[in-house]
Amino acid sequence: MRSKNGWVLLVMLLSGIVLGGFIGMLTANVSGLSWLNYGQSFGLESPIVLDLGLLVLTFGLQIQISIASIIGVVLAIIIYRKL
């Protein structure tokens, strides 16, 4: 039995999220498929700024999860298990 690489799973999950989100944005204005873009966004509304005089650091994180990105993650896991 061969072991599966965790990095491959991570790359596949990230690509499933990105492709699912892209498909969700493309289908937002299609009447029968607009439900794929339904989701929730969470994170920092305004970024945190750390001003050190010489250096200014800005921290921010926002995640948007949609139905299409969840489907993309599920498909990525199924494909990973088939490998």
* Number of domains comprising the chain: 1
pLDDT at 63 (0 to 100): 87
**Tens digit of pLDDT at every position of the chain (83 positions):** 456 788 899 999 999 999 999 999 999 898 899 899 899 989 988 889 999 999 999 999 988 899 999 999 999 999 999 88
Residue 49, domain member (yes or no): no
Number of CB atoms found within 10 A of residue 69's CB = 23
Residue 51, domain member (yes or no): no
Residue 35, domain member (yes or no): yes
Residue 61, domain member (yes or no): no
What is the Cβ-side half-sphere exposure of residue 72, based on CA atoms within 13 angstroms?
Answer: 21
C-alpha–C-alpha distance, residues 45 and 79, integer Å: 35
Residue 24, domain member (yes or no): yes
Residue 26, domain member (yes or no): yes
Q: Please give the DSSP secondary-structure letter assigned to residue 5.
A: P
The parent domain of residue 17 ranges over 1-41+71-83
Residue 64, domain member (yes or no): no
